[in-house]
Amino acid sequence: MIARELISTTILPLKTSTTGLDALESMHDYSVRHLPIVNNTQLLGVISEDDILDYDEADPLGSYQLSLTKPYAKENDHIFEVLHLMSNFNLTIIPVVDNANDYLGCIAQEDLIMYFAKSFSFSEPGSIIVLEMNERDYSLSEIARIVESENTRVLSTFVTSDPEIGKIYITIKLNRQDVRAIIATFDRYEYVVLATYTEKDFEDSLKERYDLLMAYLNI
């Protein structure tokens, strides 16, 4: 998946002649805190709610000083790069430009989250295991082999790191609810299982909170 395939068809850019008040109304309508400012096909920048609140809302955006530089994604950028840019600039939308730097549209944070939810097995039934290890000990092929030895499939993985202590954390989504045998196998190979999560855990937690709410309402 690349950037141009996630461009929103509903979010329209602002113009320099748009007032701050109209811009805020558009942000409210689109449920975002940022919008691009475009002159014909030229991306001029991205304006935030905070930018507008620092000025007179009746003034046109062309008179504003933008706090953000001109963040954008190229149309052929991989979706991981889009996610990195949106996170790095703390944006709720990211403009997309073509190879000539002409504005093509923007990607909304909500659409990006929905894409990851649908594409990386988040919605599939199963369980999650989080492993902790030293960076030098990481081997995805060995982790997959251990999981598959218990007749289970790895649906997706995410790796995060803590460079200060030299540790990495591997989050594994599995297609199996009961992971006790897999945990035992990881223990046997001296892996540190930091946490496990199952749908049953979530259902039990939800039921417990519901019971507490009912008890509170009956007081």
Q: How far apart are alpha carbons 103 and 71 in whole angstroms?
A: 12
pLDDT tens, position by position, 131-186: 999 989 999 999 999 999 999 999 888 888 888 888 999 999 998 888 999 999 99
Tally the residues of the chain. Answer: 219
Q: Which helix (H) or strand (E) holds 41?
A: none
What pLDDT sits at residue 201? Answer: 55
Q: Is it true that domain 127-205 has CATH number 3.40.50.2300?
A: no
Q: Which CATH superfamily does the domain covering 3-116 fall into? A: CBS-domain (3.10.580.10)
If residue 97 lies in a helix (H) or strand (E), which one and from where to where? strand 93-97
Residue 69 confidence (pLDDT) above 70:
yes
At 93-142, the pLDDT tens digits run 999 999 999 999 999 998 888 887 776 666 677 889 999 999 899 999 99
Q: Which two tokens stand for residue 32?
A: 């975002």
Give residue 193's identity as a one-letter amino acid code. Answer: V
Torsion over CA: 195, 199, 202, 208 (sign): negative
**pLDDT at res. 217:** 56
The phi, psi pair for 209, rounded to 5°, reads -65, -35
d(CA 171, CA 194): 10
* 141 token code pair: 């092929």
pLDDT of residue 123: 63
Residue 65 pLDDT: 84
pTM of the model: 0.67
The dihedrals phi and psi of 204, each to the nearest 5 degrees, come to -65, -40
Calpha distance 215→158 (Å, rounded): 39
Do 174 and 147 contact (CB within 8 A), yes or no? yes
Query: Structural domain boundaries of the chain?
Result: 3-116, 127-205
pLDDT of residue 205: 52
Whether the CB-CB separation of 55 and 78 falls below 8 Å is answered with no
